[in-house]
Structure 1
Amino acid sequence: MSQFFLVKKNGTLFLFLFILLNLFSNTLLGQLNKWKTFTAMREVIQFIEADGTLWGATTGGLLLYNFESDAYQAFTNTSGLSSNDVSSVAVDKSNRVWVAQTNGLIHIFDVSSREIVEIIAVFEGNQIYDMTSAGDTMFVSLNVGISEYRIDRQESKEIYRQLGEDIPEEIPVTQTFLFENFIYAATNNGLGKADRNLPNLKAPQSWQSYTTADGLPSNKIQDLAVFDDKILIATNAGIAQENSSGLIDFSGPLPAKNIISLSVKKTAESEVLYAASATDIYFTSDLQTWTRIPPVIDSDNIIKKIKHIENDLWVGFVAKDLRTSPFALAQFNEGEETWITYSPDGPKTKTFNSIAYDIDSGYLWVAAQGIMAYHEEKGWFNFEDSDVFGKGDFRKVIVDQQNRVWFGHWGDGIFVVSGNPDNYSAQVFNHENERLSPISTAASSDFVVVDEIMQDASGNIWISNFIPASGRPLAVVNSTLDSWSYFSLAEGIRSPHIHSIVDDLRRPGWIWYGSGGVHAGHPGNGVGVVVHNNTLTDKTDDNYSQGFNTDEGLLSLDVRTVAQDQDGTMWFGTPEGLNFWLSGNVNQFIGILGGDKLISTDIKVIKIDAANNKWIGTSSGITVIGPENNRLTHYTTDNSPIVSNDIKDFAFNSVNGDVYIATTQGLSILSTPFSTPKSDFSQISGFPNPFLLDGSGNTFKFGNLMAFSGIKIFTSNGEVVRDFEPGDFSGTIPEWDGRDEDDQLVGSGIYFFVGYTENGESGVGKIAVIRK
């Protein structure tokens, strides 16, 4: 069922079909049901409680947690939001939840239905840091001041841009706080204060400024609270309290000075103030004696926000040093002095360095800040950093022919995982077993970097040993892992910085590799080829004379990615554009006839799907080059729900056509018709069956077709209802909308479909159509 809601922008009300027509193109509207988004929701910037549910603003979207059911719900750009970076949440007087995103848009949710009922676009293009509700007004903290948004009139009354003589004009306001008749504005240049009853708050004279000259420990205001009926100010150098005569600095007794967040627990008998640094939480009843509560901090996260919900202390976390936060939220049990931690199902990190899909098990494996795996039915598995896998940075993952999963690590070599996420074993290859060499530029002698892993058609595993002290940047091990061979710079390897390795399926015994272009300060030396003639243990017949550089037409010596398509063409991605090698010549691919060009020349990754489409990932989105190289399709955050334009890797489900897209902000999954073509029609199928025509726009999908197939649909009497000729659709999973050649919905009944090729091959299937 379609969902409608009001959008407020530039003083005019519009009614839009979900999702906003003024924000997304028609292309996006047609793609919404084809995309899924998975983001890390373990960085909680703010959180509130509404009707028994915690609503959390995270850097990966909106996170909901229901206390009673112990259930999570996530909202991202494929489930209603216009951005995955949520900066603030607030509740208005009608008990609606306001959700602000960093792009300046505010989505308003009905708490009961959890549906979007209104979108405010008047702040689009500005950064929203905070929202504070007061009756019919929502005070919105912006990068240029404070806006007083009138909820009843659905308009921004005005923006207060200068918050006192001592605070610069149009600086970010990180928090707006209301106490009695006063409004307080927290900035990195001090604290502004004004009487809300004054007629002109746009005038700087209406505001009083507090800075270090007035007694603040620091001008960087990080949180505000009311304690003992007075405003308490947290800064990165301590706390201060406002009284009738000015400010009093209470930083002295504080065990930690950099106070990030404050919360007050109120009972009938007393008030207790809680103050959080990045790593510890303290409480006091008099601002003089502080007690530290038991820590909850992991080495990889820090505290971002504390808040009391029904007198229980809750904490929101963010990642430390761009690593991964092991949990999103924690709740303190004061009686037992213990913590309960909360981690929603989903990836634990934003950046996906490399991905690989195991067609047999259905798992997508992820190399990132840690190891992750995703299964459509079982959800996410986050392998917490341990002694087994080492800390942190995994750069490459592949699944070999034995269903072992290989991970390349930045510092600890290679980890080979056998089994599934819930029952696995691991094997390690690095300097300790003398299989790989430590990096030559590292201060320590045990830092082994593996950037690339590839399995050839014979089952051998090829490994890039980055800048090795041994001078052997390319290693290979057989499928039984008991025979290793190496290729050295002295023998003819072009560079110690190998980042992409490809087995040439048209020229057996040829291994192509690209060098440089990934790590700053480590330039490449073009494209190299190892011709080993399938005699890995015999070095006498090896040849290194193939390959080329800019003299032969390469756009750059830094070759980040290499791929071979099903026609045998070699493709090379560089920071300067796209090259291909055909019939012995290096050529540049710019675009196609008609003027359509690559979306960017900054090529990051090239992968080939089952239908021979070339997926080109760049820093500005994706260009897909069609099988015949005569069609380009582009995906960006402007025309699709893709989670980010900065593309890291692709993986393909060749059975159903799903494309997994790894980015620096999460994972996108795009449903496509590009499954592996079948050799005949013996398994021709379709789904869903029965096919319900109920006006919802659902379609019937045909599967297990041959390449370049056509589809004819017949009634039980043999009349042709619809004819999709070869070439009318892309891929091998075409769709039927239930309409005949006259664009009319067909009636209920049994229909037959015939898959056919121009060579006379054919296969038959049956559809039961139910029309409502």
Structure 2
Amino acid sequence: MFKKTILIIILLCPLFHNAQDFSTLWQGHFSYNNIKKVVQGNTKIYAASENAVFSYDTQTNEIKELSTINGLSGETISTIYYSETYQLLVIGYENGLIEVAFDDDDKILTVVDIVEKPTIPPTQKRINHFNAFGSVVYISTNYGISVFNLERLEFGDTYFIGNGGGQIQVNQTTIFGNYIYAACFGGNGIRKALVSSPNLIDYQNWQIIVNGDFSAIETVENTLYTVNTNRQIFQVISDALSNELFQYGNTPLEVKNVENNLIVTTSNNVFVYTSTFVPISQVAISSDFLTEYTSASTDASFIYLGTTNFGILKTPIANPNTFEELHPEGPILNTPFSVNAQPNGVWVTFGEYDLFFNPYPLNSRGFSHLKNKKWINTSFEEVLDAKCLNTISVNPANNNQVFISSFFNGLLEVNDEIPTKLYNEKNSGLESLILASDPNYIDIRLGSTVFDNNGLLWTITSVIDKPLKSFNPLNNTWKSYSFSDIIQSRNLGYSDMVIGSDGTKWIASYEHGFIGFKENGSNFLIKNIKSEENNMPSNYVRALAIDKRNQLWIGTFKGLRVLYNTSNFFEDTVEVDDIVILEDGIAKELLFQQFITSIEVDGSNNKWIGTGDSGVFYFSSDGQKTIYHFTTDNSPLPSNIITDVSIDDVNGIVYIATTKGLVSFKSGASSPFESLKNAYAYPNPVRPNFNIVDQKVKIKDISENVNIKITDIEGNLVAEAQSRTNQRYSGYNLEIDGGTAYWNGKNLANNVVASGVYLVMLSDLNSFETKVLKIMVVR
């Protein structure tokens, strides 16, 4: 027995994930509007959205979030259960994963037994329901029933209770009398077994009491209730269905016992009954909150309604006519498609098209804006019927004016957060694609947009003959440019566009590689690169970026390329370069065969690169050094599928959009300033409780090409750095990263400096401007 106990401890240890303290660097921006499950525990209500959970304290009204930032997996949640006895929350997922979060603790227990079970098909591993009895919880799944011990935190037996021991879908279990009952789909009816039986693993110990399809079964005091797929609810008496108690207008989504009341949730009503099925309360959909219900729970005074659009709606049991909306702040959805970071915020859209630039089925999703730490959400009803919203462009001359592309309806103009105009084929230079079979069909597939230095908004539309257009917002004038010189057939899609310092427009295309376009008086220059002869790994280009050296970084369906000399693009024979790195002494191509979905350049000229299934990379300016590689395994990323990346250069915050939600990472790499006028150091003074070695003193708002010397008050040199030499992540005591320098408090002898006043002497190597700062260090 001792050996067995030791083995259990050894096996469990790797499953405990101490939720790393990401709070200083990472932040989650998840949507908590679409609730999967609501449960009650002690004085709290717990609600699960698609891949995160929040709690609401009914006494203090405090709301707390639990997400990948705290250590959750980011997978899709199917159900949750709270144990008041053991003070823990059990989270079940669509893929069979189970996680346990402990009250007032930083541990997340990850249980992978079901996920890693090879005999169960991946599509059958969904967790449907948790039913606690004593120290164990019975887990209803699409293959049968599994047991998890809450006291020992140990996975137990699995019961395949179908005929002949087959795998069948069990939707819910309950304990009634001395028996465990299971409601099953697939014509497998209701099955029961003696709960105290030591051999429940033997399917022959499970008895079919009723045939058919049953979605729920629940015990309330001395009564057993069940619901079938005909929307009927029955009382089970002597293992037989009694007369039908009620037939619901919509399929019951949840049937549960809360404080000895029966709660039945349908998409448009929540019903609360006594244990003897006497109605207590009924809550219909409110005209003020048009949504669907998904789950519900109660306390002594209120009903807490899980919804698809408003998080939790709280309403009095006695008079459910007023509603309070409860959920953490967040964007509309957890499916960000495009992001545009601005100082102190980010714009997010949720429209999408597939890999082949097909927007169907069309989506209607609105957009979100994080502004000064508050989310402003604009629903589809407010966006003038613009579907499939994607790229966002903020007018640099007027930050309150924003243009959002619709991959079906044209260009949406937003002023002061309010959609004001939709540009289409009737009121602008935008054009619809043409269907020979339907001349009245209108479909304006507008993708990437970008402002140039003259205030013109450049747009690119797919599947038309003149895809490139310029728009002047001041006078509503449009110009169109044909690509017929290089493209004889209409291209399915254009995914990205950037503008170089010389005004060249670089455009990513689906079938024709990348395109360079430059105005040349009354004419224009146009050229594309797409073939293997030019070292292109694919003619499908998804992402582009111009770095601070005017080099073009090209993300394709099958790898990364760089055009180092962009100035002679139209005159010379062009060949793009792959980046070769040494890995364990072997030369390899950087991001070989990777699907590159996004490329962004930060204030230090380093590159953030998102991929189609490998997370996000952060490379040095030349790509030779991997500074970070974030995935779901080593970071709070909820998914390795990156849809977009955008950087707030002022604050050094990187926003990363994934298929399962939005997160941000505070890299600290801010853009340099034109002068040293506003340069400052913090914290200042440096107090004894500040970990100067790890947290470092920041010297902010410095210029691009600067030399920094730190001396003591007597003039002895302590540290020195130069922008192009002492770059961040190089191991120096004083490092420069764009507009910010980092000093770890050490001197030239690599010792932490003593208490005293230190002088920071800044010198701009281009303008010869100088500035001196003082830092007081107290140890």
TM tier, smaller: 0.7 to 0.9
Which residue of 2 is the match for residue 234 of structure 1? Answer: 227
SS in 2 for 1:380: strand
Note if contact 1:579-1:589 (Cα within 8 Å) is conserved in structure 2. yes
- For structure 2, the residue ranges without an aligned partner over 5 or more in a row are 117-124, 351-364, 566-572, 730-736
Alpha-carbon offset, residue 660 of structure 1? 1.3
Which residue of 1 is the match for residue 619 of structure 2? Answer: 625
Which residue of 2 is the match for residue 702 of structure 1? Answer: 699
C-alpha distance in 1, partners of 2:507/2:149?
61
C-alpha distance in 2, partners of 1:500/1:274?
48
SS in 2 for 1:593: strand
Relative to structure 1, the CA distance from residue 766 to residue 290 in structure 2 (aligned partners, 3 Å threshold; closer, same or farther) is closer
Q: Matched residue pairs, number?
A: 716
Q: Deviations along 1:201-220, whole A, 9 cap, x unmatched?
A: 1111222235xxx343x2xx
What amino acid is the match of 2:774? Answer: K
Which residue of 1 is the match for residue 240 of structure 2? Answer: 247
C-alpha distance in 2, partners of 1:297/1:9?
59
Which residue of 2 is the match for residue 751 of structure 1? Answer: 758
Relative to structure 1, the CA distance from residue 12 to residue 714 in structure 2 (aligned partners, 3 Å threshold; closer, same or farther) is farther
Q: Deviations along 1:491-543, whole A, 9 cap, x unmatched?
A: 665644342453543543x3222222xxxxxxx2333333322x5xx4xx234
- 1:652 matches 2:647: yes
C-alpha distance in 2, partners of 1:226/1:445?
56
TM-score (normalised: structure 1): 0.82
SS in 2 for 1:205: helix
C-alpha distance in 1, partners of 2:487/2:108?
60
Q: Deviations along 1:71-121, whole A, 9 cap, x unmatched?
A: 3221212134344644443333535132325373433322xxx43466354
2:578 to 589, 593, 603: 589
What amino acid is the match of 1:363? Answer: G
Alpha-carbon offset, residue 22 of structure 1? 7.0
SS in 2 for 1:78: helix
Which residue of 2 is the match for residue 150 of structure 1? Answer: 149
1:348 to 332, 344, 348: 332
Note if contact 1:450-1:464 (Cα within 8 Å) is conserved in structure 2. yes
Note if contact 1:164-1:209 (Cα within 8 Å) is conserved in structure 2. no
Which residue of 1 is the match for residue 774 of structure 2? Answer: 766
C-alpha distance in 1, partners of 2:651/2:518?
36
Which residue of 2 is the match for residue 667 of structure 1? Answer: 662
Using the TM superposition, name which of 100-109 and 569-578 deviates more.
100-109
- 1:688 matches 2:688: no
SS in 1 for 2:426: helix
Which residue of 2 is the match for residue 104 of structure 1? Answer: 97
Q: 1:500-511, aligned counterparts within 5 Å? A: 500-508=495-503, 510-511=504-505
Note if contact 1:450-1:466 (Cα within 8 Å) is conserved in structure 2. yes
Using the TM superposition, name which of 251-260 and 284-293 deviates more.
284-293
What amino acid is the match of 1:627? Answer: S
Note if contact 2:224-2:237 (Cα within 8 Å) is conserved in structure 1. no
What amino acid is the match of 2:462? Answer: F
SS in 2 for 1:440: coil
Which residue of 2 is the match for residue 275 of structure 1? Answer: 264
What amino acid is the match of 2:596? Answer: I
Which residue of 2 is the match for residue 5 of structure 1? Answer: none
- 1:65 matches 2:56: yes
Q: 1:481-560, aligned counterparts within 5 Å? A: 481-488=475-482, 490=484, 495-508=490-503, 510-516=504-510, 524-533=511-520, 535=521, 538=522, 541-545=523-527, 547-550=529-532, 552-560=534-542
Which residue of 2 is the match for residue 678 of structure 1? Answer: 673
What amino acid is the match of 2:634? Answer: N
Q: 1:343-742, aligned counterparts within 5 Å? A: 343-359=327-343, 362-368=344-350, 369-375=365-371, 377-390=372-385, 392-402=387-397, 403=399, 404-419=401-416, 421=417, 424=418, 426-441=420-435, 445-468=441-464, 471-488=465-482, 490=484, 495-508=490-503, 510-516=504-510, 524-533=511-520, 535=521, 538=522, 541-545=523-527, 547-550=529-532, 552-583=534-565, 584-589=573-578, 591-594=580-583, 595=587, 597-598=590-591, 601-619=594-612, 620-633=614-627, 634-694=629-689, 698-707=695-704, 711-722=708-719, 726-727=725-726, 729-730=728-729, 731-732=737-738, 733-740=740-747
Alpha-carbon offset, residue 263 of structure 1? 4.4
What amino acid is the match of 1:487? Answer: Y
Which residue of 2 is the match for residue 322 of structure 1? Answer: none
Which residue of 2 is the match for residue 519 of structure 1? Answer: none
Which residue of 2 is the match for residue 178 of structure 1? Answer: 175
Which residue of 1 is the match for residue 354 of structure 2? Answer: none
C-alpha distance in 2, partners of 1:140/1:352?
32
Note if contact 2:258-2:298 (Cα within 8 Å) is conserved in structure 1. yes
Which residue of 2 is the match for residue 135 of structure 1? Answer: 134
Alpha-carbon offset, residue 687 of structure 1? 1.6
What amino acid is the match of 1:146? Answer: I
Which residue of 1 is the match for residue 298 of structure 2? Answer: 308
Note if contact 1:618-1:647 (Cα within 8 Å) is conserved in structure 2. yes
Using the TM superposition, name which of 119-128 and 129-138 deviates more.
119-128
SS in 1 for 2:635: coil
Note if contact 1:138-1:150 (Cα within 8 Å) is conserved in structure 2. yes
Alpha-carbon offset, residue 343 of structure 1? 4.1
Note if contact 2:271-2:283 (Cα within 8 Å) is conserved in structure 1. yes
Alpha-carbon offset, residue 63 of structure 1? 0.7
Which residue of 2 is the match for residue 259 of structure 1? Answer: 252
Note if contact 1:215-1:249 (Cα within 8 Å) is conserved in structure 2. no
C-alpha distance in 1, partners of 2:193/2:747?
68
Alpha-carbon offset, residue 382 of structure 1? 0.7
Alpha-carbon offset, residue 380 of structure 1? 0.9
Using the TM superposition, name which of 619-628 and 672-681 deviates more.
672-681
Which residue of 2 is the match for residue 165 of structure 1? Answer: 163
C-alpha distance in 1, partners of 2:496/2:643?
16
How big is the alpha-carbon RMSD for the aligned residues of Structure 1 and Structure 2? 3.7
Note if contact 1:240-1:247 (Cα within 8 Å) is conserved in structure 2. no
What amino acid is the match of 1:352? Answer: P
2:32 to 33, 41, 60: 41
Percent identity over the alignment is 21
1:92 to 83, 93, 96: 83
Relative to structure 1, the CA distance from residue 167 to residue 659 in structure 2 (aligned partners, 3 Å threshold; closer, same or farther) is same
SS in 1 for 2:702: coil
C-alpha distance in 2, partners of 1:339/1:130?
28
C-alpha distance in 1, partners of 2:183/2:369?
42
C-alpha distance in 2, partners of 1:548/1:151?
58
Using the TM superposition, name which of 36-45 and 687-696 deviates more.
687-696
Which residue of 2 is the match for residue 207 of structure 1? Answer: 206
What amino acid is the match of 2:426? Answer: E
Relative to structure 1, the CA distance from residue 108 to residue 75 in structure 2 (aligned partners, 3 Å threshold; closer, same or farther) is closer
SS in 2 for 1:678: coil
Alpha-carbon offset, residue 30 of structure 1? 8.9
C-alpha distance in 2, partners of 1:288/1:10?
51
C-alpha distance in 2, partners of 1:115/1:329?
28
Relative to structure 1, the CA distance from residue 561 to residue 120 in structure 2 (aligned partners, 3 Å threshold; closer, same or farther) is closer
What amino acid is the match of 1:59? Answer: E
C-alpha distance in 2, partners of 1:448/1:736?
52
Relative to structure 1, the CA distance from residue 98 to residue 284 in structure 2 (aligned partners, 3 Å threshold; closer, same or farther) is closer
